[in-house]
Amino acid sequence: MPRTTQQLHPHREPVATRAAATVLLLRDAPDAAGAGGLEVLMTRRSAQASFAPGAYVFPGGGIDALDAGAHAAADRRATQSELQLTQAIAAIRESFEELGVLLARHADGRMADAQDIAAMARHQPFVAQCQARGLRLAADSVYLLAHWTADRDLPRRFEVPFLVARMPEGQTPVADEAEQFEPLWVRPADALARHEAGQFFMIFPTIRTLQRLSRFADTQAVLDAVAQEKPLWVSCPRAGILAGKQARYMEDDPPFGELALVCPDGQIVHPLDWQSERVVPLLKNLQRLTAPNPGVMTGPGTNSYLLGEPATGFIAIDPGPADAEHLDRLWRAAGGDIRMIVCTHSHPDHAPGAAPLQALCRRAGRAAVPILGLPSAPTARAASQFTPDRVLQNDELLVLEHRAPDGQTTTHTLQVIHTPGHAANHLCLLLLEDSLLFSGDHILNGSTTVVDPPDGNMADYLDSLDRLDALCAAHGVEFILPAHGYVLGAARTAIARLKAHRLAREAKVLAAMQALPQGSIDDWVRQAYDDVPPRMWPVAQRSLLAHVERIRALQPGNG
């Protein structure tokens, strides 16, 4: 993890969480055309509620001590844990208190009916009333869908399992008209559309849950998906500033890792807008300036990083294209004190800015600013020719250092890691003191990198991924700083996901080759990249060729 002394924002302990439970009651109902479809029961919270006033939500509330003590009154699955049973009981109680829905059954297996519900008072001891009528809580019909922890910035925070259950037949939800109002059945997609139109206010976890629920055709499909007693997702969202407004993100959203790095305690201060006019501070010793070269291959643009501080001087990583305004901004952000220029590889969106930046430093009086990297291989394309002032050795250390008058020493040390694959002369950099990995184009955020033979090599690429994973494990690396896109969090998970994606794609390439042994590259791309827009197939062909080379090299007799 980064040194606390390098964090931009003072530590702020998030509010402790409280246990709660929410239940999504599901049913299947025909639409106007007579086709069946999934509906979920929602209700509107009181405008005076202390949490999410006026929002449309799923029924639920806090877990209390009586819920944990009611296990003997509930039916359970053999695979249901004690905690899951408590959560299910709380959800059953809340759905009754708020909406008059009773997930309970008689000894003969009949579900509770309207007569049972009418005989029970919503705000009297719930379990005792069920037992008096011979009802057992149907906790075995309640399953875990997801687990949410409220955002770190909120003044009231809850740990909330989102549970699912089929709505009992013959029951009609009736709101308590105190905490909840207007119960209604709605298709997930319709609720989302109404929210987008400004007619159906919902909070972030509700929105994201409906988005994922909308992928299911019916109730049984949902119940089948959650049968393994594991949540389909777990999230504690983070928020940043986008277009001047708060925007929240889950762990698999591209900005999440960057927010975790810059605002670990949940402060909502970090701008997420992509722009090239000014540097974006990530840590006290780390700034990013994105070149104005967005595109299909570069995403929002090439990220140039400045490592260091005024006392130590700066290392510029990937100066980008030879864009005079971009390089001038980079130089000014460093106060003119750039000590080294490092290129992760020689592609035209990364290295051409190195020589002009060096010249800018020389004109300002800094004569010894070396351009460092690996020379381009003979296999490199003409636009990727590159010769550094000095060739970097694998595991070499690049050090910025300052000794203060009081004897305190500040250092920023980059370890060089040779990572061929995307390009033959590709390297990554590990900031040792803060356990940060600068990945160049080897690992990107939001897309996979192109491996373009002959300079690109898929076997080398996968081997380099393994090397980076081992490095992250050894140094406790949590964050990856790519040359395109936001900072990635959960570094080893990101690497594992990327490798799994590449191997899965390779399996599709192999299947295409086997199905069409006389097929052309175009034929194989159509089959192996059928989940990619056709406009991207010319680019995909490059990586497909790299996979074909690796497949053929692995075949018997080709070793």
The one-letter amino acid code at 177 reads E
Q: Which of 366, 374, 305 is nearest to 339 (CA)?
A: 366
CB 336, CB 389: distance < 8 Å: no
Instruction: Please report the DSSP string for 360-408 in residue order.
Output: HHHHTT-----EEE-PPPTTS-GGG----SEEPPTT-EEEEEEE-TTS-
CB 509, CB 551: distance < 8 Å: yes
Is 327 in the same domain as 399? yes
Is 124 in the same domain as 31? yes
Is 522 in the same domain as 448? no
What is the pLDDT at residue 558? 59
**Domain count within the chain:** 3
What is the pLDDT at residue 176? 87
Residue 42: inside a domain, yes or no?
Answer: yes
Which CATH number fits the domain that encloses residue 200?
3.90.79.10
Task: Domain of residue 353: give its range.
Answer: 284-497
Is 489 in the same domain as 506? no
Q: Which of 499, 429, 422, 428 is nearest to 454 (CA)?
A: 422
Show the beta-strand stretches assigned E in 12-64: 17-28, 38-45, 56-57, 60-62
Residue 8: inside a domain, yes or no?
Answer: no
Instruction: Please report the DSSP string for 62-106 in residue order.
Output: E--HHHHTTGGGB---TT--HHHHHHHHHHHHHHHHHH----EE-
Residue 387: inside a domain, yes or no?
Answer: yes
Tell me how long the chain is: 559
Is 300 in the same domain as 165? no
For the chain, 559 residues long, the average pLDDT of each consecutive 10-residue run is 94 94 94 78 86 89 94 96 96 95 96 94 94 96 97 93 96 88 93 94 96 96 95 97 96 97 96 96 98 94 97 97 97 96 97 96 87 97 96 98 91 98 98 98 95 97 98 98 98 97 97 95 95 93 96 78
The one-letter amino acid code at 249 reads Y
Residue with tokens 């297996």: 109
- List Cα–Cα distances, 77 to 74, 85, 222, 229, in angstroms: 10, 9, 17, 10
Is 67 in the same domain as 50? yes
What is the pLDDT at residue 249? 97
CB 180, CB 53: distance < 8 Å: no
Q: Which of 424, 356, 428, 342 is nearest to 389 (CA)?
A: 342
CB 387, CB 351: distance < 8 Å: no
CB 355, CB 346: distance < 8 Å: no
Per-residue pLDDT tens digits for 299-357: 999 999 999 999 999 999 999 999 999 999 999 999 999 999 999 999 999 999 999 99
What is the pLDDT at residue 47? 83
Rounded distance between C-alpha atoms, residue 527 and residue 535, angstroms: 14
Last residue of a domain, one of 454, 476, 497: 497
Residue 86: inside a domain, yes or no?
Answer: yes
Pairing of strands 390-391, 143-149: unpaired
Residue 219: inside a domain, yes or no?
Answer: yes
What is the pLDDT at residue 30? 80
Is 350 in the same domain as 231? no
What is the pLDDT at residue 279? 97
Which CATH number fits the domain that encloses residue 310?
3.60.15.10
What is the pLDDT at residue 364? 83
Is 47 in the same domain as 63? yes
What is the pLDDT at residue 49? 77
Is 179 in the same domain as 309? no
Is 359 in the same domain as 480? yes
Rounded distance between C-alpha atoms, residue 192 and residue 204, angstroms: 11
Is 345 in the same domain as 367? yes
- Specify burial of residue 374 (Cβ count, 10 A radius: 0-12, 13-18, 19+): buried
Residue 256: inside a domain, yes or no?
Answer: no
Last residue of a domain, one of 454, 477, 497: 497
Is 483 in the same domain as 511? no
Last residue of a domain, one of 463, 480, 497: 497
Residue 257: inside a domain, yes or no?
Answer: no
Rounded distance between C-alpha atoms, residue 182 and residue 175, angstroms: 7
Q: Coil, strand or helix: which one is 243?
A: coil
Rounded distance between C-alpha atoms, residue 338 and residue 428, angstroms: 19
What is the pLDDT at residue 549? 95
Residue 6: inside a domain, yes or no?
Answer: no
Residue with tokens 């949490």: 51
